[in-house]
Amino acid sequence: MNGYDSICCFRSREESLGKRVCWEITTDCNLNCPFCHRSGSGPAYYDVRNLDVTAGILREARIDNIILSGGEPLLHPQFFRILDYFGERGFEMDVCSNGMLLDETVTEKLKMRLSEISISIDGFEETRHDAMRRVPGSFNRVRDAVRRLVQAGITVHTTTVVDVPFSGQIAQMTAFLHELGVRSASFLGLIPIGTGRNDLFEPAIQKLLERQVAAVRDRFQDMEINTKQLLARSSGCTCEAGRIVFGMGTDGTELHPCLLLRKRRSAAGGSTKGLCPGSRYLTQIRSVGYECR
Protein backbone atom coordinates (compact mmCIF):
# COMPACT_ATOMS: atom_id res chain seq x y z
CA MET A 1 0.00 0.00 0.00
CA ASN A 2 1.40 3.39 -0.99
CA GLY A 3 0.45 5.19 2.20
CA TYR A 4 -0.92 4.69 5.69
CA ASP A 5 -3.95 5.60 7.81
CA SER A 6 -3.35 6.98 11.28
CA ILE A 7 -5.10 8.54 14.23
CA CYS A 8 -2.17 10.90 14.75
CA CYS A 9 -1.82 14.28 13.03
CA PHE A 10 1.98 14.19 13.30
CA ARG A 11 3.11 10.57 12.98
CA SER A 12 1.92 7.19 11.76
CA ARG A 13 2.10 3.92 13.65
CA GLU A 14 4.65 2.72 11.08
CA GLU A 15 7.01 5.61 11.83
CA SER A 16 7.40 4.94 15.53
CA LEU A 17 11.11 4.06 15.62
CA GLY A 18 12.15 7.52 16.75
CA LYS A 19 10.64 10.27 18.87
CA ARG A 20 9.29 13.46 17.34
CA VAL A 21 8.37 16.86 18.74
CA CYS A 22 6.08 19.35 17.04
CA TRP A 23 7.47 22.67 18.24
CA GLU A 24 5.39 25.84 18.03
CA ILE A 25 8.21 28.39 17.76
CA THR A 26 5.72 31.21 17.28
CA THR A 27 1.97 31.72 17.58
CA ASP A 28 2.14 34.49 14.99
CA CYS A 29 0.44 33.72 11.68
CA ASN A 30 -0.48 35.44 8.45
CA LEU A 31 -3.63 33.37 7.95
CA ASN A 32 -6.82 33.08 10.00
CA CYS A 33 -7.85 29.43 9.88
CA PRO A 34 -10.79 28.72 12.22
CA PHE A 35 -9.60 25.15 12.88
CA CYS A 36 -6.05 26.04 13.94
CA HIS A 37 -4.59 24.39 17.06
CA ARG A 38 -2.16 27.22 17.93
CA SER A 39 -2.38 28.56 21.46
CA GLY A 40 -2.91 32.09 22.70
CA SER A 41 -4.70 35.12 21.32
CA GLY A 42 -1.65 37.23 20.43
CA PRO A 43 1.75 36.62 18.79
CA ALA A 44 4.50 35.06 20.88
CA TYR A 45 8.00 34.02 19.81
CA TYR A 46 10.53 31.53 21.12
CA ASP A 47 13.47 33.27 22.81
CA VAL A 48 16.65 32.09 21.08
CA ARG A 49 18.59 32.73 24.29
CA ASN A 50 17.11 29.39 25.39
CA LEU A 51 18.60 27.36 22.53
CA ASP A 52 21.01 25.43 24.73
CA VAL A 53 18.29 24.76 27.30
CA THR A 54 15.86 23.49 24.67
CA ALA A 55 18.47 21.25 23.08
CA GLY A 56 19.27 19.76 26.49
CA ILE A 57 15.61 19.00 27.17
CA LEU A 58 15.18 17.28 23.82
CA ARG A 59 18.36 15.24 24.19
CA GLU A 60 17.37 14.16 27.69
CA ALA A 61 14.02 13.00 26.30
CA ARG A 62 15.86 11.24 23.43
CA ILE A 63 13.94 13.16 20.81
CA ASP A 64 15.83 13.28 17.52
CA ASN A 65 13.27 14.74 15.12
CA ILE A 66 11.97 18.33 15.32
CA ILE A 67 9.02 19.75 13.37
CA LEU A 68 9.25 23.56 13.39
CA SER A 69 5.65 24.72 13.42
CA GLY A 70 3.45 27.56 14.58
CA GLY A 71 1.56 29.71 13.82
CA GLU A 72 3.70 30.19 10.77
CA PRO A 73 7.29 29.32 11.73
CA LEU A 74 8.83 31.51 9.04
CA LEU A 75 7.38 34.55 10.81
CA HIS A 76 9.85 33.99 13.64
CA PRO A 77 12.59 36.62 13.11
CA GLN A 78 15.26 34.05 14.05
CA PHE A 79 13.78 31.14 12.10
CA PHE A 80 16.96 30.29 10.20
CA ARG A 81 19.08 30.60 13.33
CA ILE A 82 16.85 28.05 15.08
CA LEU A 83 16.88 25.76 12.04
CA ASP A 84 20.66 25.91 11.73
CA TYR A 85 21.35 25.50 15.44
CA PHE A 86 19.50 22.20 15.74
CA GLY A 87 20.43 20.94 12.29
CA GLU A 88 24.12 21.44 13.02
CA ARG A 89 23.71 19.40 16.22
CA GLY A 90 22.39 16.34 14.46
CA PHE A 91 18.64 16.75 14.88
CA GLU A 92 16.47 15.75 11.94
CA MET A 93 14.64 18.93 10.98
CA ASP A 94 11.21 19.30 9.37
CA VAL A 95 9.25 22.48 8.72
CA CYS A 96 5.48 22.77 8.60
CA SER A 97 4.51 25.93 6.73
CA ASN A 98 1.44 27.51 5.15
CA GLY A 99 3.60 28.46 2.16
CA MET A 100 2.74 32.16 2.15
CA LEU A 101 6.34 33.36 2.65
CA LEU A 102 8.14 30.94 0.38
CA ASP A 103 9.43 33.31 -2.28
CA GLU A 104 12.54 32.70 -4.39
CA THR A 105 14.93 33.99 -1.72
CA VAL A 106 13.50 31.88 1.10
CA THR A 107 13.28 28.82 -1.14
CA GLU A 108 16.96 29.13 -2.01
CA LYS A 109 17.88 29.34 1.68
CA LEU A 110 15.77 26.30 2.49
CA LYS A 111 17.33 24.37 -0.37
CA MET A 112 20.67 24.57 1.44
CA ARG A 113 19.18 23.39 4.73
CA LEU A 114 16.25 21.05 4.10
CA SER A 115 15.48 18.12 1.86
CA GLU A 116 11.78 18.07 2.72
CA ILE A 117 9.07 20.51 3.81
CA SER A 118 5.38 20.16 4.68
CA ILE A 119 2.96 22.63 3.09
CA SER A 120 -0.72 23.13 3.93
CA ILE A 121 -3.02 23.43 0.93
CA ASP A 122 -6.76 22.91 1.30
CA GLY A 123 -8.14 22.83 -2.21
CA PHE A 124 -7.44 22.54 -5.92
CA GLU A 125 -8.90 25.97 -6.67
CA GLU A 126 -8.85 29.30 -4.88
CA THR A 127 -12.46 29.43 -3.67
CA ARG A 128 -12.07 26.43 -1.36
CA HIS A 129 -8.55 27.13 -0.11
CA ASP A 130 -9.09 30.86 0.48
CA ALA A 131 -12.33 30.16 2.36
CA MET A 132 -10.57 27.66 4.63
CA ARG A 133 -7.60 29.97 5.23
CA ARG A 134 -9.62 33.20 5.27
CA VAL A 135 -7.09 35.22 3.30
CA PRO A 136 -7.93 36.17 -0.31
CA GLY A 137 -5.20 35.24 -2.76
CA SER A 138 -3.59 32.68 -0.46
CA PHE A 139 -4.27 29.77 -2.84
CA ASN A 140 -2.31 31.29 -5.70
CA ARG A 141 0.65 32.06 -3.45
CA VAL A 142 0.76 28.58 -1.95
CA ARG A 143 0.32 26.84 -5.31
CA ASP A 144 3.21 28.86 -6.72
CA ALA A 145 5.31 28.12 -3.64
CA VAL A 146 4.81 24.37 -4.09
CA ARG A 147 5.90 24.60 -7.72
CA ARG A 148 8.94 26.65 -6.71
CA LEU A 149 9.96 24.16 -4.03
CA VAL A 150 9.61 21.18 -6.37
CA GLN A 151 11.67 22.94 -9.04
CA ALA A 152 14.34 23.64 -6.41
CA GLY A 153 14.62 19.92 -5.70
CA ILE A 154 13.01 20.06 -2.24
CA THR A 155 10.63 17.21 -1.50
CA VAL A 156 7.21 18.65 -0.74
CA HIS A 157 4.78 16.88 1.55
CA THR A 158 1.30 18.41 1.55
CA THR A 159 -1.43 18.38 4.16
CA THR A 160 -5.05 18.95 3.17
CA VAL A 161 -7.81 19.44 5.72
CA VAL A 162 -10.94 17.48 4.86
CA ASP A 163 -14.39 18.38 6.13
CA VAL A 164 -17.75 16.95 5.07
CA PRO A 165 -18.25 19.34 2.10
CA PHE A 166 -14.83 18.30 0.75
CA SER A 167 -15.27 14.58 1.42
CA GLY A 168 -16.18 13.84 -2.22
CA GLN A 169 -13.20 15.64 -3.76
CA ILE A 170 -10.21 13.53 -2.72
CA ALA A 171 -9.61 12.31 -6.29
CA GLN A 172 -9.58 15.83 -7.78
CA MET A 173 -7.29 17.08 -5.04
CA THR A 174 -4.83 14.22 -5.52
CA ALA A 175 -4.72 14.75 -9.28
CA PHE A 176 -4.03 18.46 -8.74
CA LEU A 177 -1.17 17.73 -6.32
CA HIS A 178 0.31 15.11 -8.62
CA GLU A 179 0.35 17.62 -11.48
CA LEU A 180 2.22 20.08 -9.22
CA GLY A 181 4.92 17.46 -8.64
CA VAL A 182 3.89 16.44 -5.12
CA ARG A 183 4.60 12.79 -4.36
CA SER A 184 3.65 12.69 -0.67
CA ALA A 185 0.26 13.90 0.53
CA SER A 186 -1.78 13.62 3.71
CA PHE A 187 -5.51 14.14 4.05
CA LEU A 188 -6.29 15.28 7.57
CA GLY A 189 -9.77 14.99 9.01
CA LEU A 190 -11.01 18.30 10.40
CA ILE A 191 -10.93 18.31 14.20
CA PRO A 192 -13.99 20.21 15.45
CA ILE A 193 -13.17 22.77 18.12
CA GLY A 194 -15.30 22.71 21.25
CA THR A 195 -17.36 19.65 20.34
CA GLY A 196 -17.03 15.92 20.63
CA ARG A 197 -18.95 15.32 17.42
CA ASN A 198 -17.36 14.81 14.02
CA ASP A 199 -19.68 14.19 11.08
CA LEU A 200 -16.80 12.71 9.07
CA PHE A 201 -17.28 9.55 11.13
CA GLU A 202 -20.83 8.97 9.91
CA PRO A 203 -20.96 5.60 8.09
CA ALA A 204 -22.04 7.03 4.71
CA ILE A 205 -19.22 9.61 4.73
CA GLN A 206 -16.70 6.98 5.81
CA LYS A 207 -17.67 4.70 2.92
CA LEU A 208 -17.30 7.61 0.48
CA LEU A 209 -13.86 8.46 1.85
CA GLU A 210 -12.69 4.84 1.89
CA ARG A 211 -13.65 4.35 -1.77
CA GLN A 212 -11.88 7.52 -2.85
CA VAL A 213 -8.67 6.87 -0.91
CA ALA A 214 -8.48 3.33 -2.30
CA ALA A 215 -9.04 4.66 -5.82
CA VAL A 216 -6.33 7.34 -5.68
CA ARG A 217 -3.83 4.94 -4.15
CA ASP A 218 -4.49 2.61 -7.03
CA ARG A 219 -4.29 5.35 -9.66
CA PHE A 220 -1.28 7.26 -8.35
CA GLN A 221 1.17 4.48 -7.63
CA ASP A 222 4.10 6.91 -7.49
CA MET A 223 2.55 8.87 -4.61
CA GLU A 224 2.42 8.16 -0.89
CA ILE A 225 -1.12 9.05 0.11
CA ASN A 226 -1.73 9.14 3.85
CA THR A 227 -4.81 9.82 5.95
CA LYS A 228 -4.84 11.16 9.49
CA GLN A 229 -7.94 11.21 11.68
CA LEU A 230 -9.98 10.50 8.57
CA LEU A 231 -10.60 6.77 8.09
CA ALA A 232 -11.87 5.27 11.32
CA ARG A 233 -11.87 1.63 10.21
CA SER A 234 -8.20 1.50 9.23
CA SER A 235 -6.63 4.16 11.45
CA GLY A 236 -6.39 2.05 14.57
CA CYS A 237 -6.95 3.46 18.03
CA THR A 238 -3.50 3.92 19.48
CA CYS A 239 -2.43 7.47 20.33
CA GLU A 240 1.34 7.77 20.78
CA ALA A 241 1.22 11.14 22.56
CA GLY A 242 3.83 11.31 25.29
CA ARG A 243 5.59 8.17 24.10
CA ILE A 244 6.55 8.84 20.48
CA VAL A 245 4.89 12.19 19.74
CA PHE A 246 5.48 15.30 21.85
CA GLY A 247 4.61 18.96 21.67
CA MET A 248 6.47 22.09 22.72
CA GLY A 249 5.27 25.68 22.89
CA THR A 250 7.04 28.97 22.39
CA ASP A 251 8.68 28.75 25.83
CA GLY A 252 10.87 25.94 24.52
CA THR A 253 11.37 24.63 28.04
CA GLU A 254 8.42 22.29 28.62
CA LEU A 255 7.43 19.15 26.76
CA HIS A 256 3.76 18.30 26.40
CA PRO A 257 2.43 14.87 25.47
CA CYS A 258 1.13 16.55 22.31
CA LEU A 259 0.28 20.10 21.21
CA LEU A 260 -3.34 19.02 20.84
CA LEU A 261 -3.52 17.84 24.45
CA ARG A 262 -2.44 20.99 26.24
CA LYS A 263 -4.64 23.75 27.59
CA ARG A 264 -5.45 26.56 25.19
CA ARG A 265 -6.03 30.20 26.03
CA SER A 266 -9.24 31.68 24.78
CA ALA A 267 -9.67 35.19 23.42
CA ALA A 268 -11.46 36.09 26.67
CA GLY A 269 -8.38 35.17 28.66
CA GLY A 270 -9.55 31.87 30.13
CA SER A 271 -8.27 28.41 29.28
CA THR A 272 -9.94 25.47 27.62
CA LYS A 273 -9.15 21.81 27.15
CA GLY A 274 -6.99 20.97 24.13
CA LEU A 275 -8.46 19.98 20.81
CA CYS A 276 -7.11 16.53 21.18
CA PRO A 277 -8.46 13.63 19.27
CA GLY A 278 -7.81 11.34 22.23
CA SER A 279 -10.89 10.07 24.00
CA ARG A 280 -13.34 12.06 21.86
CA TYR A 281 -12.01 10.52 18.67
CA LEU A 282 -11.92 6.98 20.02
CA THR A 283 -15.32 7.24 21.69
CA GLN A 284 -16.95 8.34 18.47
CA ILE A 285 -15.24 5.63 16.44
CA ARG A 286 -16.87 3.09 18.75
CA SER A 287 -20.21 4.90 18.73
CA VAL A 288 -20.56 4.59 14.95
CA GLY A 289 -19.72 0.91 15.01
CA TYR A 290 -15.97 0.60 14.40
CA GLU A 291 -13.93 -1.55 16.71
CA CYS A 292 -10.42 -0.60 17.85
CA ARG A 293 -7.76 -2.97 16.60
Convert the pLDDT of each residue in 213-228 to its tens digit: 999 999 999 999 999 8
- List of residues 6+ apart from 259 with CB closer than 8 A: 22, 24, 37, 39, 69, 247, 248, 249, 274
pLDDT at 141 exceeding the cut of 90: yes
207 versus 281: which is more confidently predicted?
Answer: 207
Q: Which range, 4-18, 39-53, 139-153, is most confident?
A: 139-153
CA–CA separation, 12 and 180 (whole Å): 25
Is residue 276 scored above 70 in pLDDT?
no
Rg (C-alpha) for the chain, rounded Å, is: 18
- pLDDT for 121 beyond 60: yes
Query: Which whole number is the average pLDDT over 143-163?
Result: 96
Percent of the chain past pLDDT 90, that is, above it, reads: 61
So what's the pLDDT on residue 185?
96
Gap between the terminal Cα atoms of the chain: 19
Pairing outcome for strands 116-120 and 224-228: unpaired
d(CA 30, CA 21): 23
> Which pTM value belongs to this model?
0.88
Q: Are 248 and 21 in contact (CB under 8 A)?
A: yes
On the question of pLDDT at 85 being above 90, the answer is yes
Average pLDDT, the chain: 85
Tally of CB atoms within 10 A around 218: 10
Q: Which range, of 213-217, 228-232, 270-274, averages the lowest pLDDT?
A: 270-274
Question: What does the pLDDT average to over 76-102?
Answer: 96
pLDDT at residue number 195 = 55
Does the pLDDT at position 42 exceed 90?
no
**Helix 138-151 crosses helix 104-111 at what angle (to 10 degrees)?**
40
> What are the residues whose beta carbons fall under 8 Å from the beta carbon of 261, sequence distance 6 or more?
241, 242, 247, 274, 276, 278
What are the pLDDT digits (tens) for 192-221? 665 556 788 889 999 999 999 999 999 999
Give the span between the Cα atoms of 235 and 220, in whole angstroms: 21
Q: What is the pLDDT of residue 1?
A: 54
pLDDT category, 138, cuts 50, 70, 90?
A: very high
Ordered domains of the chain (ranges, CATH): 5-287 (3.20.20.70)
- Report the alpha-carbon distance of residue 215 to residue 169 in Å, rounded: 12
Of the listed ranges 4-13, 69-78, 244-253, the one predicted with least confidence: 4-13
Determine the pLDDT at residue 191: 73
The confidence score (pLDDT) of residue 211 equals: 96
